[in-house]
Amino acid sequence: MKTYSIEPITADNFRPGMEHKEGFLVRYRPHEAYGWLSCRTFATISEAEVFAQSLDSTGNLSL
């Protein structure tokens, strides 16, 4: 199972309260029954990729 997903922010996946209206979102913390448990937004793809690389092998934030 993939531990994160990077997607462009679109009208379909934008939700009120997101920090960025344009850019990229990273979905992480996968759950077998519920899908992605967490999501963060970023202005650029490079910021999103740096964040994704900071996740541990299960998709959780590294401490």
9 vs 5: CA distance, rounded Å = 12
| pLDDT beyond 90 at 58 | no
Q: What is the dihedral of CA 43, 45, 46, 52, to 10 degrees?
A: 100
pLDDT digits (tens, 9 = 90+) for 26-46: 999 999 999 999 999 999 999
What's the predicted TM-score (pTM) here? 0.85
Predicted confidence band at 63 (pLDDT cuts at 50, 70, 90)? low
The answer to whether 38 and 16 have CB atoms below 8 angstroms apart is: no
Question: What DSSP state is assigned to residue 49?
Answer: H
pLDDT digits (tens, 9 = 90+) for 2-29: 899 999 999 899 999 888 889 999 999 9
What are the structural domain ranges in the chain? 4-53
